[in-house]
Structures are given as C-alpha cells and as structure tokens.
Amino acid sequence: MSPTAALPSPDLPTATPHWVEGGGIEVLPRIFEDAITLAVLRRPLPHDLLAGALAQVRAERPLSFAWRGKPGDDLRAALLQALHCPGISDSLVEDIVILAEAMACLFDTQDVGLRLRRLDAPMCPRFHCDQLPVRLVTTYLGPGSEWLPEHAVHRAGLGAPHPGKPAIVLADAVIHRLETGDVALFKGGGWIGNEGKGLVHRSPTLGSDQPRLLLTIDPA
C-alpha cells in the first residue's frame, strides 16, 4: 500500500491510524476492531494468476461478471464459463473462490455477492463513502483503489458536488493507494457503530491504454 506521499502534511492534525496492513491472513479479522476502517492483506501475485488476469483484459469482449450465492463449486463453474481463456485462468478462478469462501467464513454468512469487471475508465472517480457494512476489494491488474486517512477528510464535502461545497481532500499529499494484488476490507457507513465514519475512497485515474481488473465481494 503506497501513499502518494508517505508522510502527512505538517499542516494537518494527526490521529491514531484507523487502518492496518500486513502480509498474513490474520490482518483481515482486525476489521472487527471498532477503531479500524481498513484492513489490508499485502501480497504479490504469482505469474500464473497474472496470466489469467491479463487474458481477461486483452479479450475483445469486455468482462463483467456478477454472481450471488454460496461460494464453492457453483461459483467455480460459473467463473469457468464466464471468463475468457478458461485454461489460462484456472489460478485466477481458484483465487476468487478462495477469497469468496474466506469472506463468507469471516462474516458468518452463507452467501456473498461478487463482481469481477474489466474497467477502462474510473468507476467512482470522486471520493465517497459506501453506505454498506463492509466490502472486499482487490485489483488484479492496474492501479489499486485510492483512500484517505480520516485526518485528511472534510466530510462535509462528500456527496453530490454543488457550488459552495467544500473540497473533500484537505491535502493531496496524503492520498493513499492500494497496490495491485492487495486484498482490502473497507468498512462502510452501514457497519453498526461506524455510522458517519466509513472509509473514504475512490477509483484511480486510468491511462488511455491501462485497463483495470477489479474484484469486489460483499457478504450477503
């Protein structure tokens, strides 16, 4: 996870970090801590998984896969049918199934909602806060999602823009970005006890020839 600049602006107030990151799976359950709104599992992507991701963004037909149900064999079969170049994409399919099963286990739910999309333009270019309990986000190719530490957010600026509304970002130097491959849990405003404090984030800007392969998973 790399910030646009590693240190916050000296003009901004400091606060106890509300995010955690690490290279082990044990970092993700920390999202249940009251003070934490972002938990990030940092991981490099192996070559076979990257090959499957590349096959999805290089195909002529854009990929937009949506699925809801109990993760397992049904999800695996649906992915193998929907994805381009299924022979090359086995590792990608297995990674998605594992993440879906982990999400179901972590939040004690039978079903999850899942979307895998090739994006050629930012999906949500404006900083915002999701009004849902929690979402898993990982970018297989392209730049990762951008987010703001709480001390850099002016929440009065959130929502639809209009004249006179204040800027959301107090200092561009503290915009953080997830790395490709990172698995992140975003706590939203719909999490009980987290109302008005959901993680503020946005889609990254994409170059003219820089598609992005994004996976999101919600507990259903």
DSSP labels for 129-189? E-SSSEEEEEEEESPPPEEE-GGGB-GGG-SS--TTPPPSBS-GGG-EEPPTT-EEEEE-T
Between strands 38-41 and 183-187, the pairing is antiparallel
Domain coordinates of the chain in residue numbers? Answer: 2-219
Q: What is the pLDDT of residue 14?
A: 54
Q: What burial letters (b/e) apply to 83-116, b meaning 16+ CB within 10 Å?
A: bbeeebbbbbbebbbebbebbbebbeeeebbbeb
DSSP labels for 51-69? HHHHHHHHSSSPPEEEEEE
Mean pLDDT of 43-67: 95
Residue 169 is given by DSSP the state B
Residue 144's CB is within 10 A of a number of other CB atoms, namely: 23
Class (C level, CATH) for 2-219: mainly beta
Which of 77-86, 122-131, 173-182 is least confident? Answer: 122-131
Residues 6 or more apart in contact with residue 73 via CB below 8 angstroms: none
pLDDT category of residue 15 using cuts at 50, 70 and 90: low
Q: To which residue do tokens 């397992």 refer?
A: 72
State the Cα–Cα distance between residues 123 and 136, nearest whole angstrom.
Answer: 16
Give the DSSP H or E segment for 19.
Answer: strand 19-22
Task: End-to-end CA distance of the chain: give it in Å, rounded.
Answer: 27
Phi, psi torsion values for 122, nearest 5 degrees: -60, 130
Q: Is the pLDDT of residue 86 over 60?
A: yes
Residue type, 51: A
Q: Is the pLDDT of residue 6 over 80?
A: no
Q: What is the pLDDT of residue 122?
A: 67
Which of 17-21, 76-80, 157-161 is least confident? Answer: 157-161
